[in-house]
Structure 1
Amino acid sequence: MRELRGEGDPALEYRWALPSTLLGDGRGGRVRRSTLDWVSDIMLFLLASGLTFISMEELRNTPEPLMAIEQIVGALACAGVWLRRRWPVGFALVTILLSSYLELVGGASLVALFTVAVHRPFKVSGPIALLALVTLAPYVLLRPQEDLGPLWGAAFGVTVVVAVYGWGIVIRARRQLVWSLRQRAETAAEDAKRLERERIAREMHDVLAHRISMLSLHAGALEFRPDAPAAEVARAAGAIRSNAHLALQDLREVIGVLRHTPPGAGDPVPDRPQPTLADLPTLVEECRQAGMDVRLDLSAGDGAPAALGRNVYRIVQEALTNARKHADGAPVSVTVAGERGEGVSAEVRNPVWTRHAPRMPGAGAGLIGLTERAGLAGGRLEHGVRDGEFRVSAWLPWPRETDGDDS
């Protein structure tokens, strides 16, 4: 939290409750007060005025010239309470110094000390409070009270100053705490929004990248083989139409989830049936129909949670999409195995392939998204070239006990 440099401290400008309230800028700028500010200013003005009227009883035997000075300065000090927000430190210094001898400035000086304690850090308010204590000495010696001796008068003054200053410090600490909690809440909300944006981007990529790559593959085949038999052309066109239709369905699904998901709902499952481990053979067959050489070894136990199956499916789907984009024509091996309580491992391997045809664009966002997806599920994912093969290896936990919604 930044310290004050003659300007309003955001921790103390009532922004935690009243965003429109602005304290003085330390240069005499215009002060905008909220309703709560007006109420507190009126109450403090009445308090200072009341203490001034009460103190007049102590001036019964005061000479008339000094009485006139007391009344004029006391009235000006009470009126100056309305300037405490604009010049809190200056107002406090003036009133405290005047209160070292004048009686009727005492109420305004206490209000000024309270204001500085609330609106300024300790390195500013502490010396001012110390000054208030020091000025008690000349007041007690030069203006002794009839019913109190110097010692008791000094003790009473110290008690009042410490109580007022302590009250202001407590209020300041409370406002700082509230401001800090609000800042933390705002930061948490921003983090939640960022995580939600990342989740949306990851889901959009995982859902659409596979379909779009299939469209690009079949469209490329039509472009490079315009003389293909009519049956192959029809089959490629049908695949393009089918994948375009599925891509639109997936897009509507994701958008529908975003529209109807309440805040804090986590990673919701859309209404349309989501892919599971049982859908991996269908995915592999679809890739084979697109011309890929894919071998699947699926030995995961039955009853995997829906979320686990969906994550494994998305990981295999993205790995196949990458293999199709960057190593089209290379044989791909998919191995998925696991049991309840041991977790599920998925590995997709393909030889490092050298192609002469242009590659489809890719920025590595898919692998980054897969790593994030595995991490959020409590697992891990590794990828890279090893033994002449590009491998994507993932492990996801499969608890022994699962919730009913996931089993």
Structure 2
Amino acid sequence: MNDTTTSRQRYRRGARDWVVDTMMFLVAVGFGLMGAVTLPGEPPPPEPPDPWRVTEQLIALACCGALWWRRRWPVGIAVALIAISGFVSLAGGAMLAALFSLCVHRPPRVGLTVLGLSFLASYVGALVHPDPYDTPVLMTFMLSAVFLTAAAGWGLSVQHRRQLLDSLRERAAHAEAEAQLRAEQAQHRVRESIAREIHDVLGHRLSLLSVHAGALEYRPDAPADEIARSAGVIRESAHQALQDLREVIGVLRAPVGELPQPTMADLAQLVEEAGDTGSEVELVEEHSGQIPERTGRTAYRIVQEGLTNARKHAPGARTTVRISGTPGRGLNVEVGNGPPARAPETAPEAPGGGQGLVGLTERVSLASGRLEYGPGADGGWLLSAWLPWPS
């Protein structure tokens, strides 16, 4: 039941198919009528009509009607009409239409094979029905072969054109899919970049808030001036965090733009803010020359992540930030801290915890650098990186 329904849907004609099939039928009928008409100089048809002549006309009409099923059985219909046309000359038009349709819908190898059979049938027809004007059999065969070759060649050209159009549509669809994939990949890279920037921009500020809020929570008996100083740092850090967040959101809403990027000139302020948490932070710069902007941004992020981790995991530890290098040899960035002066407070962890070093490794890799981190010899922690610095 399902197979029958599928078969009917497969061969269901559309409006264009009905028009083409009707024209094929009418052309085949017209070709047969031209063969049935008595030309000037020919003897008139006998009275009463010759039974074979009538039978031949009925067979030719049936061959024309068979063209309505050529889409379903193109090879069978074409071979049958070719065989009939070798003995019924009036079926020549239907045979040409079937041959054309076969070459359109079947591979060229099949079409050329059937074309060879049509040559054989045409030669048999030239022998069975000699020309009334005494035209040589070879000449009649050659004329028929021209018509057959033209029909088959036209069908093959139509098939080739359809395949070319299908190939162009497929290429266009493939190119559109590739363009969409590239756009999605670019969007994904932009989102990853935005996520890293948000982590770097806000992580430092929020870690300051976490440290000072934790100190106020776990040391309510601290001196008044220390509480006031911590409250001031919290207020300033919250203000800066909101300001950074506004800048990020503004960039996301803008049609064109880049996220706010720090430079090496902001490194001193970063170290100063880290020292406000009560830890001793030293900045040592041993480099000469102008550091490239991209390299400076990456170095800033490395120092920022190192100070954030030192503040979270080694509160009160002495931290040293060392920047060294020369053009051509590269830029070395080290953030090392000693053992914690006190146990880390169990304050709520800042957002993005545990992902900073992962994102930093990716950032340094994109800059064609190297990143290493691990326990130091003095029981602390050392974060070091090498970044290329072209000469």
Does 1:333 pair with 2:313? Answer: no
Query: One-letter code of the match for 2:62?
Result: I
Does 1:321 pair with 2:308? Answer: yes
Query: One-letter code of the match for 1:94?
Result: W
Mapped partners of 2:309, 2:328: distance in 1: 30
Aligned to 1:384: 374
Mapped partners of 2:24, 2:231: distance in 1: 92
Aligned to 1:73: 66
Mapped partners of 1:287, 1:141: distance in 2: 98
Q: What does 1:149-168 align with in structure 2 at a 5 Å threshold?
A: 149=142, 155-156=149-150, 159-168=153-162
Does 1:64 pair with 2:57? Answer: yes
Q: What does 1:328-407 align with in structure 2 at a 5 Å threshold?
A: 328-351=315-338, 355=343, 357-358=345-346, 361=349, 363-385=353-375, 387=377, 388-400=379-391
Q: What does 1:240-279 align with in structure 2 at a 5 Å threshold?
A: 240-262=234-256, 268=258, 270=260, 274-279=261-266
1:71–1:104 Cα contact (<8 Å) kept: yes
Mapped partners of 1:30, 1:281: distance in 2: 79
Query: One-letter code of the match for 1:343?
Result: G
Aligned to 2:130: none
Flag the 1:356–1:378 CA change in 2: closer, same or farther, 3 A. Answer: closer
1:101–1:138 Cα contact (<8 Å) kept: no
Mapped partners of 2:61, 2:111: distance in 1: 24
1:312–1:346 Cα contact (<8 Å) kept: yes
Mapped partners of 2:152, 2:102: distance in 1: 16
1:55–1:104 Cα contact (<8 Å) kept: yes
1:136–1:154 Cα contact (<8 Å) kept: yes
2:339–2:380 Cα contact (<8 Å) kept: yes
Aligned to 1:304: 291
TM-score (norm 1): 0.71
Flag the 1:280–1:193 CA change in 2: closer, same or farther, 3 A. Answer: same
Q: What does 1:129-208 align with in structure 2 at a 5 Å threshold?
A: 129-142=108-121, 147-149=140-142, 155-156=149-150, 159-208=153-202
- The CA deviation string for residues 278-332 of structure 1, in whole angstroms up to 9 with x for no partner, is 2212211111111122221112335334333222212211111111112222222
2:122–2:145 Cα contact (<8 Å) kept: no
RMSD: 3.6
1:381–1:394 Cα contact (<8 Å) kept: yes
TM-score (norm 2): 0.73
Aligned to 1:88: none
Counterpart of 2:203 (choices 209, 213, 221) is 209
Mapped partners of 2:287, 2:7: distance in 1: 70
Mapped partners of 1:162, 1:29: distance in 2: 23
Q: What does 1:103-118 align with in structure 2 at a 5 Å threshold?
A: 103-104=93-94, 107=97, 110=100, 114=104
In the TM superposition, what is the alpha-carbon distance from 1:188 to its structure 2 partner? Answer: 0.5
Query: One-letter code of the match for 2:374?
Result: G
Q: What is the aligned-residue identity percentage? A: 37
Counterpart of 1:95 (choices 68, 71, 74) is 74
- Structure 2 unmatched ranges of 5 or more: 37-52, 82-92, 127-139
2:310–2:337 Cα contact (<8 Å) kept: yes
Q: Which moved more, 1:287-296 or 1:333-342?
A: 333-342
Q: Which moved more, 1:142-151 or 1:342-351?
A: 142-151
Mapped partners of 2:119, 2:76: distance in 1: 14
Does 1:28 pair with 2:9? Answer: yes
- The CA deviation string for residues 364-391 of structure 1, in whole angstroms up to 9 with x for no partner, is 3111211222233333323333545432
Q: Which moved more, 1:253-262 or 1:159-168?
A: 159-168
What is the DSSP-based 3-state SS (H/G/I as helix, E as strand, rest coil) of the residue aligned with 2:226? helix
1:48–1:111 Cα contact (<8 Å) kept: no
What is the DSSP-based 3-state SS (H/G/I as helix, E as strand, rest coil) of the residue aligned with 2:384? strand
Q: What does 1:113-132 align with in structure 2 at a 5 Å threshold?
A: 114=104, 126=107, 129-132=108-111
Query: One-letter code of the match for 2:9?
Result: G
1:379–1:394 Cα contact (<8 Å) kept: yes
Mapped partners of 1:397, 1:231: distance in 2: 46
Aligned to 1:295: 282
Query: One-letter code of the match for 1:297?
Result: V
- The CA deviation string for residues 76-125 of structure 1, in whole angstroms up to 9 with x for no partner, is 35xxxxxxxxxxxxx745133212233437547756764x6xxxxxxxx6
1:110–1:164 Cα contact (<8 Å) kept: no
Mapped partners of 1:342, 1:214: distance in 2: 35
Does 1:229 pair with 2:217? Answer: no
In the TM superposition, what is the alpha-carbon distance from 1:205 to its structure 2 partner? Answer: 0.2
In the TM superposition, what is the alpha-carbon distance from 1:194 to its structure 2 partner? Answer: 0.8
- Structure 1 unmatched ranges of 5 or more: 1-5, 7-24, 32-37, 78-90, 117-124, 401-407
How many residues are treated as equivalent by the alignment? Answer: 338
Flag the 1:351–1:107 CA change in 2: closer, same or farther, 3 A. Answer: farther
What is the DSSP-based 3-state SS (H/G/I as helix, E as strand, rest coil) of the residue aligned with 2:210? helix
What is the DSSP-based 3-state SS (H/G/I as helix, E as strand, rest coil) of the residue aligned with 1:333? strand
